[in-house]
Structure formats: C-alpha cells, structure tokens
Amino acid sequence: MRHLLLPLLLAAPLAACVNIGAKAPERLLFLTPQSSLEPGALRTGATGRSLIVGVPETPRMLETNRIPVHVDDVSVAYVKGAQWVDQPGRLFQRLLSEVIAAKTDRVILDPRLFGGEPGTRLSGELQRFGVDARARQAVITYDATLLGEDGSTVMKKRFSVSQPVTEIEGSEVGNALNLAANEIASQVAEWVAR
C-alpha cells in the first residue's frame, strides 16, 4: 500500500505547476456604438415597426474571441495578444441593435425573448470581421437578410466597409474594426428604415 501512495504524494506538487488554458490578455476589446438610444426614450410596437435582430451566422474562423488576419488567399493567422470580450457575431448583433434603435423608429426586440413574435426579422452572415494583411485594412463584410412581417417578403443586401491600419496590433485593429462596424450598422439602419 505504501508503494502506491508514494507516487501519488510525489505527483501532487507537480499538479500545482500545470497551467491549463491560455494566459488571458491584458485587455479585452469590444464594440462601442457611435449612436445610442437616449436614456428614457420610449418606443411603442406599432404593427410592422418591430424588428428582431438576430445573431449573424459566422464562418468557423470567427467562432472565437480572436481577431483573424488574412495573410494571403489561403491562410489565416490571429492578432497576437488581442481578444474580444465575446464572439464577433454576438458583439456585432448588439451593436446593430443599438444603432438601428437610435437611427430609426423601429422597436428592437431581443430574439431570445421574442423569437416567436410576429415582426420584421434581420438576420445574415458575417463573412469577414478581421484584417487583410496585404491591404493593411480592417475589413467587415455582412450579408444582411430582411424577412418581412408577412414571412414571404425577403430582401438581401451585402454591406462591406474597410478601415486602414498602420500596425496589425490589438488596439489599432480593434479601433478600426469598431469604426467599420459602426459604419455598416449605420448603412443597415438606413436600409431597414424604409
């Protein structure tokens, strides 16, 4: 019995030295809407004016909190030491919701709470949300789909915005992507306001 306990006792100090998981970055990045609904602003859900903004579909490379860098046509790296507070699709959905609410008369509904309610639905695919290393630009491409309240009217539109970056490092890339995301959100707000 003693010869079985000795290896366990010797292994215990080693277990304390094992580090599972990556070291967290010093700061996490997030998207900040440049247009926000004023505190106390009241909206009513008149028929046809509610909008459910869904989380966009994303390719596998965006199902992470890291920022992809397209090095060439066939390879992707990630910005060293830079991470979002959440996955880009969810961050972009929250930014879209806030900007659309601020710039239109739409009542924005959370899809988790009002998924079965009638109303216009905005969904889509976030095709790009990262850096093009060759062009030295932060690039966001969003394919939006607007489904009318009747469930049969469908409109699709592609939105794409680039912002220059001089250095491919966390805060500069984060700022450029924030500007690009706000520009796309403004364009989408104008589109859904019609």
Residue 18 has what pLDDT? 44
For residues 88 and 129, the answer to whether their CB atoms sit within 8 Å is yes
Residue 106 has what pLDDT? 87
Residue 44 has what pLDDT? 63
Residue 14 has what pLDDT? 42
Closest CA to 192 of 140, 142, 156: 156
Amino acid at 136: R
Q: For 17-31, 73-87, 120-134, 158-172, which range has the lowest pLDDT when averaged over its residues? A: 17-31
In this prediction, residue 19 has a pLDDT band, given cuts at 50, 70 and 90, of very low
Q: Locate the DSSP E strands across 74-115.
A: 76-83, 107-109
For residues 131 and 70, the answer to whether their CB atoms sit within 8 Å is yes
In tens, the pLDDT along 55-101 reads 999 999 999 999 999 999 999 999 998 999 999 999 999 999 999 99
Using CA of residue 33, residue 34, residue 35, residue 36, what is the dihedral sign? positive
Distances (CA, A) of 170 to 98, 131, 194: 24, 11, 37
State the DSSP code for 61: G
Averaged pLDDT, 143-149: 92
List domains and CATH numbers for the chain. 46-192 (3.40.50.10610)
> Could you give the CA distance from residue 130 to residue 24 in angstroms, rounded to a whole number?
20
* Higher per-residue pLDDT: 148 or 125: 125
Q: What is the mean pLDDT of the chain?
A: 85
* Higher per-residue pLDDT: 118 or 146: 146
* Higher per-residue pLDDT: 21 or 147: 147
Tell me the backbone φ, ψ of residue 172, rounded to 5 degrees.
-65, -45
State the DSSP code for 57: B
101 token code pair:
């609410």
